[in-house]
Every structure is written in C-alpha cells, then in structure tokens.
Amino acid sequence: MKHHPEKLVLQESSILMASDGTVLRKIPLPESGYRKAARLEEMPKLLVDTFLAVEDRRFYHHQGLDYTGIARALFNNALRMEVSEGGSSITQQLARNLYLNRDKNMLRKLNEASIALALEKRLSKHDILELYLNQIYMGEGQYGVKAAAEHYFGIADLKELDIMQIAALAGIPKGPSIYNPGEQTELSAQRRALVLDIMHQQGLITGEEMTAALHEEYQRPAVVKEKKVGASYIDAALTEASQLLGKPKQELQSAGYTIVTGMNMKAQGVLEETFLKPELFPPSGKSQQVESAMAIVDHRSGEVVALTGGRNPSSGDLNRAIVDARQPGSAFKPIIDYGPALESGMFSPDSMLPDQKMTYGSYKPENLNGAYRGLVTMRMALQQSINAPAVWLLKQVGIAKASEFSAKLGIKLPKEDRNLSIALGGLHVGVSPLKMAQAYSVFANGGVFREAHMVRQIKDSKGNVIYEHQSNPHQVISPYTAEQMTSMLRSVVNDGTGKRARMNRPVAGKTGTTQLDLPGISRKGNRDLWFVGYTPEWTGAVWMGFDRTDKDHYMMAGSGMAAALFSEVMSKALEGR
C-alpha cells in the first residue's frame, strides 16, 4: 500500500456542460463507470449508520479486522462446506476494492487482512468510512453512494434521501447486480425489507417508520439522457481545458471537474442536423465523401457557440474545425489585402485599383476568367473577388505590414508565407475554420479582438471555481477599418460572389476557393470551398473539401455551396433572436 498512495485518491468522473447547464457528457472512469464523491459530512447520519449496521457493526471497535465476524463466517462456511461468507470488515472491503481482485481464495484473504491493518494505521476511521462510501460499487456502472443516489432516485443532495431510499442503497453492496433497486425484482425488494428490519432492530428507525418505508414503492426517475451532441466541440473543449490547467487530458477526465462551455445547444443541434443533409454538399468521390467543418463564434463574448469537425463526427475523430491545414483562398483577402489597405489610411472602399495582368518576379497571378477591367474600385474588387487588384494592393501596403495586421486578428504567418501568393490565400501550412471565424469576428466587433474560446469555467470536485475565463478585449484595428470592411463584405453578399449566404438579417462575408492544380488534370476543379461571414450576433466559417485531394477526389462545385450552407445553419440557429 505504501507504494501506491495514489489509490487513496479516488478517481471521479468529470462533467462537461453547455452554456445553459445541459449536461453534455459524464466522462466514464477507466473502469467504465461513473463516480461522484461526497464528504462524510454531506451524507445523512441515518445513511452512514445504516451502512455500518448492515456491513460492519463493530467498525469503531476493531483495528481493521473484526475477529468476531471472521469466526462467525468461518463457522458458517464450515457448515456449508464452501466459502460463501466473507466476514469482511468495511476496512477489508475497502482494501480489496482498492488493491485486490475479486477472487475468494485464502491467499487473497491474507493480503486483504494485512492491507486492512495498514490502512487503519494510516487513516482515521472517518477517512476510511468516507473512502468506502465513495469507492464501493453500487451496480449499473455507478460507484459510491452519491452517484447511486442520483442514478436510482434522481437525488443530488444526499440529505434529501428518505428511509426507503437509504435502505435500498445500503442493501446494494452485498450483490450490486441483483440487489440494486433499478432491477425492480423480488430479490431487490426482499433485500430492502431485510435492511429496514436491521435498521429497526438497531434502533435507527421506529416501527411506524419501518412500516411506512415497506409500503413505499420504488419509482425509477425519468432518465435524463445526456445530449449526444457536440463530439468535436467536447474534444476541443477538453483539449483547451487541459492547456488552461496544465494537466494531461487523462487526469482532467477523472478528477471530478465540472467544465462549463459556451456551447449554445440550439446552434449546435442545428449545425449537426444540417450537416447530415447530403444535398447541401458536393457529391462524394470514388472512396471518400466530401468533408466539411464549421465554427461559430459569438463575437461579443468570444465564446464558440457551435463547432463541428466533420459531417458526422465521433469522439476522437479528426477535428477539421480546429486543425490549421487548409488553404483559405479568397476568403483570406480581407485579412491580408483589404484590411491592411484600409488600416494604412492610404485607401478607402472607393479607391481605384489597377485590374490588369502584372508580373512580380517569378509570380504571375491571373484573374480566374482571364478578363481584366483596367481599373476597379476596391469595393468592386472584393465584391467580385478579382485577383489582380488584391495582389497589387498587398504589394503597395507591404508584406510585413499586412502580416502584422493578420497577426492582430489571430493568424500569425510563418516566414515561409512572406511572399505575394498569400494575397490570394495560398498559405504554406493553412488555417482552420475556427481561426478564420476569429479573424472575421474582429471586423464584426468594431475592431475589437476577443479570444475565441470554448471553456467558460472549471470547478474542481469540491465545487470550487479554479478557472474562470477573463475576457480581455482590446482594440487591435481602428473602428473605421472594421466599419468599412463590414460595408464592403455586405456588398459581397448582397451583389457579389456571396449571394447564397443571404438570409433574413444583415450578413457580411466572403467566399474562398482554392483550385485543383493537379498535374495531368485539365478539368477545372476545386480543392477547398470556403465562406466566412457574420451577422450582428455571430461570426461563422465554413470549409468543404476532400481529406485527400487527388484525380478521383475533387469538387466541381463552387464556393456558393459553402455560402448556402452558412445561410442554412445560421438562419435556423438564430431563429427567434
């Protein structure tokens, strides 16, 4: 035992909650069960006394081994010619549960006895009893009396338990699978009656109380199902919580934490339902379907209200919403070209920009349809997503200044991206939908940066708040730049490439496409489709594409499809606001 002190600290299930208090997930322990611990002082005296009466009446009179009980068990086992009675004290049961397996052999009994004696030397009776009542298996995957009270009776405060419920709980440890009240069998009813009789004999309850409890029928509480939504969101929130506390995920999941997230249940539900509709996505390829990811941020608080890393993700799947892996194409132009140009003070939405074929060293950007207009306003260049003016603008502002601007919006570019191809969203590594949503949220928020985050608060197993998100909003670009950018991005949706994002409220945003560019394939096809945009309330980013793009897996659809998906999700998620 002295080599395993960690066994005396019970693992406890952590819980994740949505912003409205809905329990999203109770994380199972490694033994595939659920435990919620309680201090002895939180337990009613009758519950503690009943467990002692049923399991170990001489608990306070022995040092770990109840020799009277052992002698009685040996006598009864000899009569029956089998090992059926254990005569185990509560300390022995705790020793067995913490350190040994379930075999009933003599060697195990000797080990159990020596560990029990050691436990009594090391811990007080109070601590042994508390550990026992929190550690004991109570059937149906529940560990400890608190988890069992919640599971079988829907009672979170143990002091609210009545006499029948206490008797039912105290009757379980003898045979968790047959005596738990959830079974609602003759056996569990008989066991409950036997415990009530013991309670009466020991003077814990009166005859009237016993009779009343015997006639009380067990009612199983309505099953409160965990909402099976947000697999990607929960994975991302756990990763974030792990970084915030500096603890590995494994420890986080079994330390009894309550992690409150910013998830909006309605938005998350709408997002996942919408992502199940195949008609909203380009057709599948030979051996893969087109994947998609979306992140929605409340730009007024920075909270991520909904997120999915795939079209039907499970826990542990690749989370495409948070992985910096995809080229943003023209959706990057507001971040790297037009935003920096407005911020420089040298340009306005009405500034005239050259729209003609230009060469910059070995870099020869081209307009998509090969058409050039000579001169266009900045607003028109963004609205129609024309390439030539965007590259020219980046050259005028300077890559260093533009990269500084991008970093202020949360996208820090590596050295490899210090070239003009970033003007059209050709990045060395790529960017995630969440980072794109966060960047655009600065435009939506009047130039104020709020860090996109999922975790609102973390409480430890005792209910103490150990982390609370502190919003640290700061003005990173001028309100003028944000306002002018919003005006230009609304033109994109109202009259430009983002028309399919329109909905029943103001929308500003930008499409993005990256072309196939595969040797030997002449057909025009696409690798990535994007739409990033915002309403007055929320900012969202949608990406679509194949995980592995090749000659059998590319899209003929354009970015209007991503814009339409954005509109479908956002309009339903914001309904009634």
How many C-beta neighbours within 10 Å does residue 99 have? 16
Q: Which residue from 116, 138, 107, 111 is spatially nearest to 33, judged by alpha carbons?
A: 138
Q: Which residue from 409, 406, 339, 422 is spatially nearest to 378, judged by alpha carbons?
A: 339
Rg (CA), the chain: 32
Cα-to-chain-centroid distance, residue 358: 48
For 286, counting Cβ atoms within 10 Å of its Cβ (0-12 exposed, 13-18 middle, 19+ buried), the class is exposed
Catalytic residue among 19, 88, 330, 491: 330
Catalytic residue among 13, 14, 19, 55: 55
Q: Extract the tokens encoding 73.
A: 């068990």
**Nearest-10 Cα torsion for 343, 348, 354, 357:** 40
For 572, counting Cβ atoms within 10 Å of its Cβ (0-12 exposed, 13-18 middle, 19+ buried), the class is middle
Tell me how many degrees the CA angle 206-209-210 measures, rounded to the nearest 5: 85
- Identify whether the C-beta of residue 202 lies closer than 8 Å to the C-beta of residue 53: yes
Non-local (6+) Cβ contacts of 552 within 8 A are 285, 286, 287
Taking the alpha carbons at both ends of the chain, their separation in whole angstroms is 59
For residue 216, the 8-state DSSP code is: P
Q: Extract the tokens encoding 394.
A: 């980046």
- Identify whether the C-beta of residue 307 lies closer than 8 Å to the C-beta of residue 272: no
Cα atoms in the Cβ-side hemisphere of radius 13 Å centred on 370: 0
Q: What stretch of H or E contains 143?
A: strand 142-143
Q: Extract the tokens encoding 440.
A: 């655009």
Non-local (6+) Cβ contacts of 303 within 8 A are 19, 262, 297, 452, 453, 454, 456
- Identify whether the C-beta of residue 65 lies closer than 8 Å to the C-beta of residue 113: yes
Q: Give me the amino acid identity at 345.
A: G
Length of the chain in residues, anyone? 577
Cα-to-chain-centroid distance, residue 344: 40
432 catalytic residue (yes or no) = no
55 catalytic residue (yes or no) = yes
Query: If you search the block for the tokens 């709980």, which residue do you land on?
Result: 169
Q: What stretch of H or E contains 534?
A: strand 526-534
- Identify whether the C-beta of residue 577 lies closer than 8 Å to the C-beta of residue 538: no
CA quadruple 255, 256, 262, 266: dihedral sign: positive
Give the C-alpha separation, 355 to 333, whole Å.
Answer: 15
Q: Extract the tokens encoding 458.
A: 């973390």
**Nearest-10 Cα torsion for 105, 111, 116, 118:** 180
Tell me how many degrees the CA angle 556-561-562 measures, rounded to the nearest 5: 115
Give catalytic residues, as residue numbers.
55, 330
